[in-house]
Amino acid sequence: MTSKSETVTNKLKTLIPDPIMRIVLDEFVSELLKSAERELDLKGFSSSTSVTAEAVADRIHQYERKVADIQIALMLLAYWFEPRHEMLLEKIITRIGEIEKGSSGIRIWLSLDWYPLLFLQYSAGIAALASRNYLALKVILTTTIETDGLGNPFAKSAVVKTSLGMAEAMEVFKYISGNEQHRVPLSEFLFKELKTPVEVNLDVHRNYEVLFDRYEVFSALTCADILQSGGHSPMSLLGRFAWKYQRSGSPLALILQEAEQSGDGWAPLKAGLFGGSYARFREVSGWISGRIAQLGWI
Distance CA 3, CA 201 (A): 14
pTM: 0.93
Q: What is the pLDDT of residues 46-66, one digit of tens each?
A: 788 888 888 889 999 999 999
- 233, amino acid identity: S
CA distances from 84 to 18, 20, 25, 77, 154 (A): 11, 11, 11, 10, 25
Over residues 24-37, the mean pLDDT reads 95
Is the pLDDT at 152 greater than 70? The verdict is no
- Going by C-beta distance under 8 Å and a sequence separation of 6 or more, which residues neighbour residue 40? 63, 66, 67, 96, 99, 116
Over residues 220-226, the mean pLDDT reads 95
- Confidence band (pLDDT; 50, 70, 90) for 30? very high
Q: Using DSSP, state whether 112 is helix, strand or coil.
A: helix
Q: Contact at 8 Å (CB) between 286 and 278?
A: no
Compare 16 and 298 and report the one with higher pLDDT.
Answer: 16
Distance CA 12, CA 58 (A): 29
Is the pLDDT at 150 greater than 50? The verdict is no
pLDDT of residue 67: 95
Domain chopping of the chain, boundaries:
4-293
pLDDT of residue 2: 62
